Amino acid sequence: MAGDHRQDQQDRVIWVNRFFYPDESATSIMLTDLVRQLAATGAGHEHHLVTSTARYAGGAEDGGAGLPGVIVHRIPALGRGNDSLLLRLANFLLFYTGALLLLLRYARRADTIVALTDPPLVGTVAALAARLKGAWLMHWVQDIFPETASRLGFAREGGVLEGMLVRLRNAAWQRAGRNVVIGERMRDFLVVQGIRPERIAVIPNWADETAIRPVPPSANPLRAEWGYAPEHCVIGYSGNLGRAHDVATKVAAMEHLRAAGPANLRFLFIGGGARQGELRRLAGEGDDGLLAFRPYQPMAMLANSLSVPDVHWISLLPRLEGLIVPSKLYGVLAAGRPVVFIGDPRGEVARLLAEGECGASFAPGEADTLARYLARLAQDPGLRAELGARARSLAEDHLHRQGRAAAWRARLRGDGTGEGGK
């Protein structure tokens, strides 16, 4: 069976995800970095990518050069694929069909197929191909559908459609030799779904702590270019501000601080997302210089852009705990910045911040408490420096990139605990 652990040599790995290099979306960056590390060390594997011509965010125009040992198979896409719901669904259908055909063409009995979760439920396609070709199947679960969609109001929770999709997805998970998840709460979710614990491995995501390093304000050209003085304390948000994230608590805290906070406070939002327009309408940029927006920054500038803020805030709606882990956390920790989390105080991010003693967590709606904490950070640069140093230590000592790659090598060989060096 494809779900049984095989002892023979796994000489090729076929990764399936809609986005890959040179795209700069979160899953693309993570997958590209892992494949580069694995290909560089050899480990007896040849790496194939089943991906799309679509682009979600940024990146050079290089379609796949500069990745020795990696063979990229691209499925055509219609436009960006995010311009409308109809176009997105059409691109999903194109990808499902193309991925199945490519897997049936290239996969062999000795291969490992690793399916990510973009587009949603693509693992069911990979499971079918693995069964037909006798390949070893793994899932790399970055987020969980259809529950995420239904909890965000895009479908009826507990409805017939959700139930059907859950059964298909769970069958694919059960067929896999290993399901790699990115958080403890996500592992608990799979266990509740009936997946045997020995078929689940926790390997959290990461950032490249060698490329993303703390940049002092005096050495950061973006900080001066964007108009921040040495005395300013910048509270920043970097990345996608989407439907899974809190806006109301952020706006309420900013309004409180705008009226009665320290004069040196500034708020900065870098990136975009479905809820950034809502934030702009509610908070506005105003004439006081308190709030500013900047577009997504290229990967080459990430160390500088993440180091412009003195403090970062991250959020996740509590009802999505166990379904999503905000990957932006790892880059912020690597940049050596304190983190303020708005979400479930018992959630994945809150647990990491408590373990690393590098920030604080607040439930949605705790705007007054959050505002007081931010005011304290603005008035105490020593505290910010201490928390930032702990954040960097957490990234270097426990969440480092090479440890994650080593855990993946162990999983692809079929040995080790898969716990990412924990």
Q: CB of 296 within 8 A of CB of 271?
A: yes
Angstrom distance (rounded) from CA 34 to CA 37: 5
| pLDDT score of 317 more than 80 | yes
Alpha-carbon 38 to chain mean position? 20
Dihedral angle of Cα 150, 97, 327, 280, to the nearest 10 degrees: -60
Average pLDDT over residues 295-324: 95
* Residue 195, helix vs strand vs coil: coil
**The pLDDT value given to residue 9:** 47
Q: Which domains does the chain have, with CATH numbers?
A: 12-206+400-413 (3.40.50.2000), 217-397 (3.40.50.2000)
**What does the pLDDT look like over 189-238, one tens digit per residue?**
999 999 999 999 999 999 999 999 999 999 999 999 999 999 999 999 99
Q: What is the dihedral of CA 116, 99, 25, 61, to 10 degrees?
A: 150
- Mean pLDDT computed over every residue of the chain: 90
CA distances from 204 to 116, 142, 186, 400, 403 (A): 14, 10, 10, 10, 10
Tokens representing 196 are: 């045997």
Q: What pTM was computed for the model?
A: 0.90
DSSP state of 143: B
| DSSP class per residue in 264-297 | TEEEEEEEE-TTHHHHHHHH---SSS-EEEE---
Q: What is the pLDDT of residues 45-72, one digit of tens each?
A: 789 999 999 877 655 545 444 577 799 9
Categorize the per-residue pLDDT at 414 as very low, low, confident or very high, splitting at 50, 70 and 90: confident
Residue of 38 and 84 predicted with greater confidence: 38
Residue scoring higher pLDDT (372 or 80):
372
Work out the pLDDT band at 154, boundaries 50, 70, 90: confident
* Among the listed residues 143, 337, 330, 312, the one whose alpha carbon sits nearest the alpha carbon of residue 243: 143
Residue 418 neighbours by CB distance under 10 Å: 18
Contact 251, 282 (CB under 8 A): yes
How does pLDDT run across 108-125, given as a tens digit for each residue? 998 999 999 999 999 999
